[in-house]
Amino acid sequence: MARWTDEQVGNAVGLLLRIGVIFAAVVAGAGGAVYLWRHGSVPVDYAAFRGEPQRLRSLSAILRGAAAFDPLAVTQLGVVLLIATPVARVGLSLVGFILEGDRKYQLITLLVLLILTASLIGRI
């Protein structure tokens, strides 16, 4: 197995973050643009707060809606991708530390990844 240097890990993580944020912004922006194109002239009622509809409250529902080109689901998918980007960064860092052979940072990063994953699932 090829060994990575700190610089290679840093470059890979930086690239992942840039690509993740840009991709999330493009997806959310596309969904927002289509939503405004379809519903931009509809008056907004600020009298009562309405949370997200049920169809946008789970990842599977968001994916189904995005596959059907629902602009709200596509926008929500962009937000999910933005949230997933730093989690993927920690995962890539773990791979990098494994390839570096740095045991101490492998353990620390694995712990951080487990905490992030558990908090996103809602177990903490």
Cα-trace Rg, the chain = 19
Structural domain boundaries, residue 85: 6-40+50-121
Domain count, the chain: 1
The band of 87, judged by pLDDT with boundaries at 50, 70 and 90, is very high
CA dist., res. 86 & res. 21, Å (int): 9
Higher pLDDT, 1 or 86: 86
Q: What is the pLDDT of residue 123?
A: 54
In a domain, 34, yes or no: yes
Query: What's at 106, amino acid-wise?
Result: Q
Predicted confidence (pLDDT) at residue 113 exceeds the cutoff of 80 = yes
- Is the pLDDT at 82 greater than 70, yes or no? yes
Alpha helices in the chain (DSSP H): 6-39, 59-67, 71-100, 103-121
Q: Would the pLDDT of 24 be above 70?
A: yes
Which of the 8 DSSP states describes residue 9? H
Is 1 a domain residue? no
Tokens describing residue 7:
């610089």
- What value does the mean pLDDT of the chain take? 91
**Residue 31: exposure state from Cβ atoms within 10 A (0-12, 13-18, ≥19):** buried
The pTM of the full predicted model, rounded to 2 decimals, is: 0.83
Identify which has the larger pLDDT, 20 or 50: 20
Contact between 74 and 27 (Cβ < 8 Å): yes
- Residue 45 in any domain: the answer is no
pLDDT at res. 34: 96
